[in-house]
Amino acid sequence: MRRYDVTIGRASQAIRAGSWVHEKLLEMPAARTLEALPMATVTPAPQPPLEGYTFEGYRNPDGSVGTRNLLAITTTVQCVAGVVAHALQRIRDELLPQYPNVDGVVALEHSYGCGVAIDAPDAVIPIRTLRHISLNPNFGGEVMVVSLGCEKLQPERMLPPGTITLMPGAPQTPDLVRLQDDKHVGFQSMISSILEAAEQHLERLNRRRRETVPASELVVGVQCGGSDAFSGVTANPAVGFAADLLVRAGATIMFSENTEVRDAVEQLTSRAATPEVAEAIVRELGWYDRYLERGRVDRSANTTPGNKAGGLSNIVEKAMGSIVKSGRMPIAHVLAPGEKLRRDQRGLVFAATPASDFICGTLQLAAGMNLHVFTTGRGTPYGLAACPVVKVATRSDLARRWHDLMDLNAGQVADGAKSIEELGWELFHLLLDVASGRRTWAEQHRLHNSLVLFNPAPVT
């Protein structure tokens, strides 16, 4: 049984032409071993650069560009979440109206920070994830931290001095409010400390204005969730086409989701720009194979009841449809989970993350994403507080029913109304608009999901 020109499985019985090829009729092939892969063997035909495309963004002190002007409140530990949520409401009600150029305030709440084996070999992943999220370009280089005091993840471990480029005129260490400090007498004194710190950052953020910057400053994370059999023929190819345009415009585009690329590993390693990049792909996918093995599962644990009801037979078929989001350009860089892109790492990037929508999105935020593209066939109201999410429907029926949740209808390809190229260009222009301030549906309804950390190390 072949789809996308690869074997997705052997028919375990005769299947009538035109009938449904579902999971139970297929024997899934074993995962390709990570030995003897083609390494950086394909040199895609060079494409002319795309010049002159720009958007209106917020230039940061480190040179990166925000698509939103947000105050983020970094937290070291879940213990402070209740107090921070209370302060957040006060900031929204009392302070934000005085700072009209600030788009919003976001609490970086999470479940890590204490009650975890913080010196375990894999603890580096959640720790650097939190560090790097607080430095996301949409937060303008302003960092304020709320800590409890006694937690394992001490502020200086989360943000070692020297890791941050702060705003000109800002203090050169992050603002720190520690609830257990002796100066705090009573709950309201904690709230006052947070509000006072926030106000200083809001004043600086409020002085910023959007300016015209080249499209090369976009750092776009792509992922899919709630996929169906249309994902790989409408939305994902259109995203892949737009990805190629973004790379030609000098921008950065990240794709992820280890278990959804694992069966296409040959395509990845052969498309690597250099043998070193190919080796990094093998290293990350090999690490992830072993992570799944320790938990006594494999890549087939990925698929969902909805995928299957939507016509995807197994993870091989899902992976082939997923990977087309990455377009056809050479893979220029690889990131391990929680790592942050350097400013000189442009082009197509494989950010090796779990496929879980929320973990993938959280790790792409840590990598430095300033714009997110999310394709869905079954439909999900996914959103992030820290970054605009452009949602692309794979089918016109979904786009019609979820008319105020889906930002683009790739079902038009299946309907014959538009070509993949046309839709890819439409998405490219939409991304520049959203980067410039046009609000997505999720932003209009203020829909956002939690940050979910990838913590392969034990809790205690």
Residues of this chain, 90-149, that bind a second copy according to CB under 8 A: 109, 111, 114-122, 148-149
Q: How far is the CB of 231 from a second copy (least distance, A)?
A: 12
How many other C-beta atoms lie within 10 A of the C-beta of residue 295?
A: 9
Q: In angstroms, rounded to a whole number, what is the distance separating the alpha carbons of residues 418 and 82?
A: 49
- Helices 124-134 and 357-367: angle between axes, nearest 10 degrees: 60
Q: Report the Cα–Cα distance between both ends of the chain, in Å, rounded.
A: 46
Mapped onto helix, strand or coil, the DSSP state of residue 112 is coil
How many amino acids of this chain bind a second copy (CB under 8 A)?
Answer: 84
Residue 57's SS3 state is strand
Is 152 a residue that touches a second copy (CB under 8 A)? Answer: yes
Return the residue of 28, 37, 73, 79 that touches a second copy, per CB under 8 A: 79
What span, in angstroms and rounded, lies between the C-alpha atoms of 172 and 170?
A: 6
- 228/51 Cα distance (integer angstroms): 35
When asked if residue 411 is in the footprint of a second copy (CB under 8 A), the reply is no
- Mark the segment that binds a second copy (CB under 8 A) among 47-55, 318-326, 328-336, 444-452: 444-452
Contact call for residue 28 and a second copy (CB under 8 A): no
Q: Which of residues 8-27 bind a second copy (CB under 8 A)?
A: none
Looking at the Cβ atoms of 11 and 309, the one nearer to a second copy is 309
User: Does 165 sit near a second copy (CB under 8 A)?
Assistant: no
* Contact pick of 7, 49, 160, 297 for a second copy (by CB under 8 A): 297
Q: What is the rounded distance in angstroms from the CA atom of residue 448 to the CA atom of residue 382?
A: 7
Nearer to a second copy, 122 or 279 (CB): 122
What's the min distance (Å) between Cβ of 152 and a second copy?
Answer: 5
292: which 2 tokens? 């799944």
Calpha distance 263→454 (Å, rounded): 22
Instruction: Yes or no: say if 263 and 303 are a contact pair by the CB < 8 Å rule.
Output: no
* Binding positions for a second copy, 192-231, rule CB under 8 A: 225-226
Candidates 8-16, 93-101, 184-192, 341-349: pick the segment binding a second copy (CB under 8 A): 184-192
Provide the β-strand partners of residue 107.
Answer: 73
CA atoms lying within 13 Å on the CB side of residue 280: 18
Nearer to a second copy, 191 or 247 (CB): 191
> Which listed residue (144, 158, 179, 393) binds a second copy by CB under 8 A?
179
Out of 6, 192, 328, 358, the residue judged to bind a second copy by CB under 8 A: 358
User: Among residues 16 and 294, whose Cβ is nearest to a second copy?
Assistant: 294
> Counting runs of H as helices and runs of E as strands, what totals does the chain give?
14, 18
| Cβ atoms within 10 Å of 343's Cβ, excluding its own | 11
Q: At closest approach, how far in Å is the CB of 331 from a second copy?
A: 22
304, 347, 422, 436: which one contacts a second copy (CB under 8 A)? 304
Question: Which residues sit opposite 252 in a β-bridge?
Answer: 219, 347
Counting contacts by CB under 8 A, is residue 53 touching a second copy? no
Sequential DSSP letters for 288-327: HHHHHHHTT--GGGG--HHHHHTT--SHHHHHHHHHGGGT
Whether the CB-CB separation of 329 and 192 falls below 8 Å is answered with: no
Minimum distance of a second copy from residue 200's CB (angstroms): 23
Shortest distance (Å) from residue 182 CB to a second copy: 7
Which of 141, 310, 321, 424 is in the footprint of a second copy by CB under 8 A?
310
Which of 62, 301, 343, 417 binds a second copy (CB under 8 A)? It is 301
Both tokens of 348, joined, read 């197509």
- Give the one residue of 127, 254, 363, 405 binding a second copy; rule: CB under 8 A: 405
Identify whether the C-beta of residue 252 lies closer than 8 Å to the C-beta of residue 345. Answer: yes
Cα gap 161→157, rounded to integer Å: 9
We find the least distance from the C-beta atom of residue 380 to a second copy, in angstroms, to be 5
Fill in the per-residue mask, 323 to 352: x = in contact with a second copy (CB under 8 A), - = not in contact: ------------------------------
Contacting a second copy (CB under 8 A), which of 192, 200, 274, 356? Answer: 356
* Footprint of a second copy on 359-388 (CB under 8 A): 359-360, 378-383
Residues in the chain: 460
CB 358, min distance to a second copy, A: 5
CB 443 within 8 A of CB 407: no
Burial class (CB in 10 A: 0-12, 13-18, 19+), 23: middle
CB nearer to a second copy: pick between 242 and 385: 385
Q: Would you say the C-alpha torsion 210, 214, 217, 221 has a positive or negative sign?
A: positive
For a second copy, the closer CB: 65 or 179: 179
Residue 334 near residue 124, CB atoms below 8 Å = no
Question: Does residue 265 bind a second copy (CB under 8 A)?
Answer: no
Whichever of 272 and 457 has its CB closer to a second copy, that residue is 457
